Amino acid sequence: MSSPSAPATAKNAYSRALPTHISVVDEREAKRISNAIDRAGESGKTTVLKQIKIIHGEGFNVEREEYRKIIRLNALTAIRELCLCMLQHKATVTFPINQEHFDYLLSLEGPGESTFMNGKKFSNLLRRRQSADDASADAIFNHAAPSIKAVWGDPAAQELFQRGLAKNMQDSAASFLDEIDRLAADKYTPTDVDILRARVRTFGVTEHQFKIELVTYRIFDVGGQRSQRQGWAPYFDDCSAIIFVAAVSSFDQYLREDPSVNRLYDALQLFESICNHRLLRSTSIILFLNKIDVLKRKLANGTRLSSYFKDYTGPNDYQYVTSYFQHLFFSQNKVPQKEIYLHLTHATDTRQMRVIVSAVNVIVQRMNLKNSGLM
């Protein structure tokens, strides 16, 4: 990031100024934090980056066609997760005619995640008991579209989804599944809203550059997978600010790789590691408690925070719950001089993010003036 310093995100979400030098962080500490980052995906960090690109960059016109495959893959992955949830809960389709569709979707083995690797997007292959090249991915989706629509519209599937039992489905799944006909159309071109909702996993290091109110930001998006540790470890050094993105809606969800660990507890542990890291003790943090739209929906549907956070005794109300989460995150910090700036965010809401990005820009510039001794 060029001078003056500005925040840059990394997995769940590190932010740094472009260093005048790079020193290697203690490898054991880097590995420990990397392991935590591995487990803390889907916070909405990448969506924040997309919003900055829409608001202050060139948008997605160049990549729009690429996102078609990613969005279709998201939809297919989501419906398959719902089918697996129905199996887990021994639920059967309400209409017998949908059983064949249900079986077909289950036969689509492992429609993996889309990835974002070193600045290039890749759609993992869709497979139906054999490999398929990327060129045929659209054809496979189009063949599956009637089955997706049938199962998604089945009352039994809807009941499980509305009860929040399909916890591995991504938050944007319903919006894609509701519009399967549009997604399957021959001339389908993703909108900005579609792209914001698309789930893309990050590998490697990707760099983004934006100009916000005459300030040039160079943002390094750093993947947190174990194989990528050597790539992101140096970015802990020379941090001027950190943006940390946590999905507060994940309070009732557990890690895929360790179902005994609550996702939000895990995010709290990661936040504690960052706040108190020896190289980041004087670094301010901008905390995004994200996915407040999903949180509101879960609370309104009757999902009780106290069922997952036993020490919470307040009302199951958005204002009380978010105040509780703020206290939880702030209490992880053991460095008295550290400044933490809080924002409650809905990262897919461009209007809200426009205001927040502007506020973050003001905060960062104030930090720069303070660090330079000008205030």
**Distance from C-alpha of 329 to C-alpha of 362, rounded to nearest angstrom:** 23
H/E stretch holding 36: helix 27-38
Least confident of 16-20, 132-136, 308-312: 16-20
Is 325 or 348 the better-scoring residue by pLDDT?
A: 325
- The helix or strand, by DSSP H or E, that contains position 340, with its residue range, turns out to be strand 340-344
The pLDDT value recorded for residue 124 is 44
Q: Binding site, residues?
A: 42-47, 171-172, 196-202, 221-225, 290-293, 347
Interatomic CA distance for residues 198 and 78, integer angstroms? 12
Q: What gap in Å lies between CA 146 and CA 168, rounded to an integer? A: 22
State residue 216's pLDDT score: 77
Residue that is written with structure tokens 């916070």 in the block: 43
Check pLDDT > 70 for residue 202: no
- DSSP assigned state of 97: G
pLDDT tens, residue by residue, 142-183: 899 999 999 999 999 999 998 888 888 887 889 999 999 999
Q: What is the pLDDT of residue 47?
A: 85
pLDDT at position 182, please?
96
For residue range 283-340, what is the model confidence (pLDDT) as tens digits?
888 999 999 999 999 999 899 999 999 999 999 999 999 999 999 999 999 999 899 9
In this prediction, residues 242-253 reach a mean pLDDT of 89
Q: How many percent of the chain have pLDDT more than 70?
A: 73
Best CA proximity match to 288, nearest among 241, 237, 337? 241
pLDDT range class, residue 356, cuts 50, 70, 90: confident
Q: Which residues are annotated as a binding site for Mg(2+)?
A: 46, 202
**pTM for the predicted model, two decimal places:** 0.71
Non-local (6+) Cβ contacts of 244 within 8 A are 12, 13, 271, 274, 285, 286, 287, 288
Q: 238-250 burial by CB neighbour count: b if 16+ within 10 A, else e? A: bbbbbbbbbbbbb
Sign of the torsion angle spanned by Cα atoms 164, 165, 171, 174: negative
Per the prediction, the chain carries an average pLDDT of 77
List, in order of start, the domains of the chain with CATH numbers: 27-60+202-370 (3.40.50.300), 64-189 (1.10.400.10)
Which parts are annotated binding residues for GTP?
Answer: 42-47, 171-172, 196-202, 221-225, 290-293, 347
- pLDDT value at 243 more than 70: yes
| H or E stretch covering 354 | helix 350-371
